[in-house]
Structure 1
Amino acid sequence: MASIRDYNVVEQFNSRLEEIRSKLLDQAMGELLNDRVAELCQEHRQYMKSVLGTCFKKCKEDENMFDMIQTFKEDLKEETSSLKEKSAEHLEVVSAIEDKEHHKALLFQRIEKLKKDQAKNRELIQSQNKANKDRLKNLNICKDIFQKHLSLEIRKIQGEKLQFVFRNISRKDPDMVHTFLLQLDAEGVYHIVSCDPPLEKMAHLERRLQETNNFPTFLANVRREFVALHSGAKTA
Structure 2
Amino acid sequence: MSITDPGTSERFTKAMEESHNQHLKTLGKICDMITELFQAHKQFIKSAQDSCIKKCNDDKMAFDTIETFKKDLEHTSKFLKDKRLAISEVMSEIEQKEMMKEEIIHKIEKLKEEQAKRREVIETQNKTNKKRLKNLQKARYMFQEHLGLEIRAIVGKEITKVSQGEKLQFIFRNINRSDLSSAYIVTMGINAEGVYQVVSSDPALDCLPNLEKRLQETNNLAAFLANIRKEFIALARH
TM-score by length of 2: 0.49
Greater Rg over alpha carbons, structure: 2
**TM-score of the two chains, using structure 1 as the length reference:** 0.50
